[in-house]
Amino acid sequence: MTSLTSAKHLTGEIDGTRCTIVESNVTKARMEFLRELMACNRLEVKVREEARTDETSEPLYTIGVTDLVFNPVYAIYERTLLRPDGTVVTPAWYRQLGGDTEVPYYTYGKTQFADQYE
């Protein structure tokens, strides 16, 4: 699922190239989203289609980048990963959540409890 749940740096091999694994077992739509995001940040992207468990299931993909030092969690929380339009990627935008994805992660959800802190 989403790699923001663990900051562990995962590496693997895709098409004979050592890569930092950005996410694994993702849908085609998620893979395309991540591929575009990583490519616009000038990272070389590698994608591998995972073996299907049965013929009726949707294909799943593993996406990685050839930069072995890259860590998506650090890049997002250090605010160094950029969207195609040049704005900073927030955790909510990276996870493709609906609603306001411009809210900084450290204030997300705190507005509903603001009256408790006054």
pLDDT tens digits for range 64-87: 999 999 999 999 989 899 999 998
pTM: 0.79
pLDDT tens digits for range 3-12: 677 788 889 9
Please give the C-alpha separations between residue 101 and each of 6, 77, 92, 98, 112, in angstroms, as whole numbers.
20, 14, 5, 7, 16
pLDDT tens digits for range 90-104: 888 898 886 655 666
Contact in structure between 80 and 96 (CB atoms under 8 Å): no
CB count within 10 Å of CB 19 equals 24
